[in-house]
Amino acid sequence: MSKRPKWQLSQQHVTPEAVFNQRRRIVKALGLSAIGASVPLGVQAGLADWFGKPKVEPALLKPLEFTGSNRFGIADPLTPEDKVTSHNNFYEFGTAKTDPKENAQQMVTSPWQLRIEGEVANPKTWTVDEILSGFTLEERIYRLRCVEAWSMVIPWLGIPLARLLEQAEPNSKAKYVAFETLYDPEQMPGQRSRFVGGGINYPYVEGLRLDEAMHDLTLLSVGLYGKTLPPQNGAPIRLVVPWKYGFKSIKSIVRIRLVEKMPPTTWNLLADHEYGFYANVNPQVDHPRWSQASERRIGSGGLLSAKRIPTEMFNGYGDFVADLYDGMDLRQWY
C-alpha cells in the first residue's frame, strides 16, 4: 500500500505491541518528544489531500511524556490502536460502536475543568492542563471487559485517582465517590434525543466505594497509546477501573463528589436487575440475557473474527482487589 521508511517494520509480520514498542524506540533514538513528531504537520495535511480527506478532521492528539509502564501481571498482546479508537461505547454520541468516532471529533475538550467536592476538607477545581503538569503520568496496560462480553487490552496513560482525592482530603463522612460526565446537549447529540442516546437520562453518572476509588489500580486516564485521549475514548479525562465492567469507566468527567450514601449510577437506573452498583467482572454471575463466562477479544484472530476466551474473576486482577469484597456475597452485590 503506502510507502514506508525502511526502518519501519512491516505491520503484517509483527504484533501491534511490537510496532508500538518499535516506534517508541525510534522516537527515543531520534530524541523526539513523541510518536507523532516524526512527520511534520504540513506533510501530514499534504498526505491527507492526496489520499482524500475525511468529512470531519480527526481531533488533534498531543504526545504525552510518561514515566514507568506497568502491566500488573497481564501479559496479553495489546489491542491495535485503530480498534481501540473505532469500537467504542459513548452513548452521548450514539449507540452504535462506530458512532463515537464519527460524531465526537468536534467535541471541545480544552479548556476543561474537573472539580472535586462534597465531603472533603479541601474542595478543588483543576484544569486538565494543571493536572497534566502537576502529577506524574504513568502508563498502565489494562484489560477492559465490557458487560456486553467483548474485551480489549489498552495502554492507558494516567494518574491514580487517589493522588487527586488525597489533595481534596475526604472527611470522615465520605464513604462513596460519585462521578459525572459533561452535560452539553449542543455538543452531544445523544443528550438531545432519547432515540440517539439510548434512553439514558443524562448526564451519565457513576460511582465507587471510597476504598475502591483509593485503590492503586483505579486510574484517571488522560491518554492512550502515548498521546492524549481521542474524544471517542472520553477526552480529556476519564476513569478506568480494570476489574469492573467497562460501564463503570465513565468518560469526559467534569465533577467528582465525595458522598455518604451509595450514589445512583446510570446503567443501574436504566435496568436495576441487569446492572448493579458493584459490577465486578465475574464469570460465575451471568447477565440475565447472556453468559459472562467468556468474552470476544477485539482485534484478535482474523479480519472479521475475534477469539473467544474465558473471562477471569475480577478480570484477572483478583490478587489485587479480591480482599475489598471479603465476606460479601457477589451474587447479591452484582
Ligand X SMILES: Nc1nc2c(c(=O)[nH]1)N[C@H]1C(S)=C(S)[C@@H](COP(=O)(O)O)O[C@H]1N2
User: Does residue 246 interact with ligand X by CB under 6 A?
Assistant: yes
CB of 323 to Mo ion, least distance (A): 26
CB of 238 to ligand X, least distance (A): 7
Q: Provide the CA 166 distance to its chain's centre, in angstroms.
A: 22
User: Does residue 247 interact with Mo ion by CB under 5 A?
Assistant: yes
Count of chain residues binding ligand X (CB under 6 A): 17
CB of 301 to ligand X, least distance (A): 19
Contacts 24+ apart (CB under 8 A), 296-300: 296/149, 296/150, 296/151, 297/76, 297/79, 297/150, 297/151, 297/152, 297/153, 298/79, 298/83, 298/87, 298/150, 298/151, 298/152, 299/16, 299/79, 299/80, 299/83, 299/152, 300/77
The Cα 118–Cα 170 span in angstroms is 8
Cβ nearer to Mo ion, comparing 131 with 248: 248
Cβ nearer to Mo ion, comparing 145 with 227: 145
Cβ nearer to Mo ion, comparing 215 with 248: 248
Half-sphere exposure of 103 (CA within 13 A, CB side): 23
Q: Which does 91 bind (CB under 5 to 8 A by kind): ligand X, Mo ion, none?
A: ligand X
- Region binding Mo ion by CB under 5 A among candidate stretches 79-87, 103-111, 144-152, 253-261: 144-152
DSSP 179: E
Of 90, 126, 179, 275, the one binding ligand X by CB under 6 A = 90
| Region 137-196 residues binding ligand X, contact defined as CB under 6 A | 144, 146, 181
Surface-to-core class of residue 36, CB atoms within 10 Å of its CB (0-12 exposed, 13-18 middle, 19+ buried): middle
Residues that bind Mo ion (CB under 5 A): 89, 146, 246-247
- What residues line the site for ligand X (CB under 6 A)? 88-92, 144, 146, 181, 204, 233-234, 246-247, 249-252
